[in-house]
């Protein structure tokens, strides 16, 4: 009876089973299939609850024609494989590994190489994706898929993966109650991480480096963002973090470094920014007028060309309170830790630039400094509401 529960099937070139599909066909639920190293051809479909364990990195090759591995059963584990060369299709989402209508899958320590979509999760719940190394060779956005693509799923845990060279590193569409943690996503054409219509998710301690944009959160609610690093997402219209039509989210202790835009807020409401670091960005924070009730507290602004920029003079309904600005020139006579003079984080030239992008050729010129100094004395152009009444004197 026990032997029946834990039976192990071995696949190798000299074994009884020489290819993976026949091994799966003869396996029963809860079997373990051990695949020895070697190259095996796709496509392979898994339709029962089995564990696929690769020993010394067996290769599953799609030969650029079809989907390599498809999983249509619950409780499947895939570990230690190299999955490469899936086909490419403009009409179908072909992937290196696709999981469909499944629960509790585990995808661990695999390498995905040169796939269209690398890992595709479709109507999946409670899946763990951990320690995978995903490398694509995307050239244009149209001809490439995403690294980890999740659609209409819930309860996913995506942890400690490395993703490079796809369209989006990780893409969430209609995914809820999921966690993305400790991943590194770099050199992706579009976004390092992309949320669409996904609610109640958390991503933390990830590193987004040199993507088209670090992270884009769109049309989503209640997203937690913690301890992430957004670095060197630079280019004509590039963002560390793009927030578009999202509400009730929270950013805590993230680092934005050397991005063209640190955080870009469009239609972003009731979101809290706390203890984040904005360092050496072109624009640390860019807020559009349709963003309301956001709170910025205890953030640090250091060495940015512009701390805050906005397209409105009159209607600004966000709060800046107790942030640290390296440009602040006030003093603290009563020694309560807060500067005695309010700080206006929008500079004159930042406002001019918002309207006339070309004025940037005058950045750091004597005239621009003069105008900024004048603006401090005679505040005509600053949005009246955009002021930090209690700027911090030292970095939090």
Partner 1 sequence: MFAKLIKYELYDLFKSKWIVGLFLFYLLVTYVLLELGRDFKKALISHNNLSLITLTLFSLLLSTNYLYNNKNFIEFVLTQPVKRSSLFVSLAVSLSIAIAIGFSLGSFLPFYYHFGIVPLYIKTITFNLLLIPLFVLSGLLIAILIEDKLKGLGLVLLLWLFSSTLYDGIILYLILIFSDYPVEKVLLFLTLANPIDLIRLVALMETGLYEVMGFAGKWVAKYLRELWFLPALLSLFYTFILLLLGLYTFRKKDF
Residues forming contacts to partner 1 in the complex (CB under 8 A) are: 234-238, 258-261, 280-283, 303, 305, 352-353, 355-370
Q: Cβ closer to partner 1: 8 or 373?
A: 373
How far apart CA 126 and CA 360 sit, in angstroms, is 49
Under DSSP, the state recorded for 200 is S
Q: Cβ closer to partner 1: 171 or 353?
A: 353
Q: What phi and psi values does residue 194 have, to the nearest 5 degrees?
A: -135, 120
Query: What count of other Cβ atoms lies within 10 Å of the Cβ of residue 389?
Result: 13
Whether the CB-CB separation of 291 and 269 falls below 8 Å is answered with: yes
Q: Cβ closer to partner 1: 258 or 382?
A: 258
Q: Determine which helix (DSSP H) or strand (DSSP E) holds 366, and give its type and residue range.
A: helix 366-377
Instruction: For the chain, give the number of residues.
Output: 396
Question: Which residue carries 């390296």 as its tokens?
Answer: 326
* CB 373 to partner 1: min, Å: 12
Q: Cβ closer to partner 1: 19 or 326?
A: 326
**Rounded to the nearest 10 degrees, what angle do helices 348-355 and 366-377 cross at?**
110
* CB 262 to partner 1: min, Å: 9
Q: Cβ closer to partner 1: 6 or 363?
A: 363
Output the CA angle 82-87-93, nearest 5 degrees. Answer: 100
Q: Cβ closer to partner 1: 201 or 231?
A: 231
* CB 77 to partner 1: min, Å: 44
* CB 170 to partner 1: min, Å: 24
* CB 108 to partner 1: min, Å: 38
* Cα-based distances in Å from 317 to 21, 142, 387: 60, 38, 11
* CB 286 to partner 1: min, Å: 10
Whether the CB-CB separation of 272 and 248 falls below 8 Å is answered with: no
């Amino acid at each position: 009876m026990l032997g029946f529960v834990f039976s192990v099937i071995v696949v190798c070139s000299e074994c009884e089973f020489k290819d993976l599909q026949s091994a799966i066909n003869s396996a029963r639920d809860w079997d373990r299939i051990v695949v020895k190293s070697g190259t095996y051809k796709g496509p392979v479909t898994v339709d029962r609850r089995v564990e696929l364990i690769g020993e010394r990195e067996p290769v599953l090759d799609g030969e650029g024609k079809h989907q390599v591995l498809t999983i249509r059963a619950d409780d499947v584990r895939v570990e230690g494989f190299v999955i490469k060369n899936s086909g490419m299709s403009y009409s179908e989402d072909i992937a290196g590994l696709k999981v469909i209508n499944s629960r509790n899958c585990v995808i661990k320590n695999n390498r995905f190489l040169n796939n269209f979509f690398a890992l595709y999760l479709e109507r999946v719940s409670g899946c763990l994706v951990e320690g995978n190394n995903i490398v694509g060779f995307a050239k244009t956005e149209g001809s490439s898929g995403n690294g980890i693509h999740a659609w209409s799923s819930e309860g996913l845990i995506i942890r400690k993966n490395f993703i490079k060279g796809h369209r989006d590193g990780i893409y969430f569409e209609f995914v809820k109650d999921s966690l993305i943690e400790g991943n590194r996503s770099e050199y992706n054409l579009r976004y390092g991480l992309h949320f669409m219509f996904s609610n109640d998710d958390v991503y933390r301690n990830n590193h987004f480096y040199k993507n088209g944009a670090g992270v884009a959160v769109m049309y989503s609610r209640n997203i937690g963002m913690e301890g992430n690093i957004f670095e060197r997402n630079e280019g004509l219209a590039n963002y560390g973090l793009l927030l578009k039509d999202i509400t009730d989210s929270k950013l805590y202790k993230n680092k934005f470094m050397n991005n063209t835009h640190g955080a870009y807020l469009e239609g972003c409401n009731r979101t809290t920014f706390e203890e984040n670091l904005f360092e050496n960005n072109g624009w640390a924070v860019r807020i559009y007028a349709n963003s309301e009730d956001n709170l910025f507290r205890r953030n640090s602004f250091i060495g940015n060309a512009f701390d805050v920029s906005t397209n409105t003079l009159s209607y600004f309904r966000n709060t800046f309170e107790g942030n640290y600005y390296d440009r602040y020139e006030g003093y603290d006579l009563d020694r309560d830790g807060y500067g005695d003079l309010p700080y206006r984080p929008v500079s004159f030239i930042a406002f001019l630039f918002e309207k006339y992008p070309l004025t940037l050729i005058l950045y750091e010129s004597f005239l621009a400094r003069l105008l900024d100094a004048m603006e401090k004395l005679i505040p005509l152009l600053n949005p009246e509401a955009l002021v930090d009444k209690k700027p911090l004197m030292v970095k939090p």
